[in-house]
Amino acid sequence: MPTITTQQLTETRRNVAEMAKQEYLSKFPSLAEAVEFEEQCLSIGDEHLPPAALEVVQAHADGREFTASSDYWAWLTDEVETSRGL
């Protein structure tokens, strides 16, 4: 059985996250609207955010560059669909 390296696993996770991000962005007619919705979701209070969103909030607070996980983008996509009654 072939083994996967840590680098390959990291790259795969990045690719999956990027696909999930594109899925989220496709829900909006413009990037500005997607960013506005994201900011609204992140402003509801830390106690209401899933762990993946808390990681993003903390990275921004620390001034770190951070690649959001596919779980984060999936959560945002779910929030869009819920807000639209889908």
Render pLDDT for 25-48 as a digit per residue (tens, 0 to 9): 999 999 999 999 999 999 999 999
Question: Encoding tokens for residue 21?
Answer: 């991000």
Using DSSP's 3-state secondary structure scheme, residue 57 falls into helix
Tell me the pTM. Answer: 0.87
For the residues 55-75, what does the mean pLDDT come to?
93
Determine the angle formed by the axes of helices 6-25 and 70-83, rounding to 10 degrees.
Answer: 20
Cα gap 64→68, rounded to integer Å: 12
Question: Encoding tokens for residue 77?
Answer: 């996509």
Using DSSP's 3-state secondary structure scheme, residue 70 falls into helix
Contact between residue 69 and residue 24 where contact means Cβ atoms under 8 Å apart: no
Question: Mean pLDDT of all residues in the chain?
Answer: 94
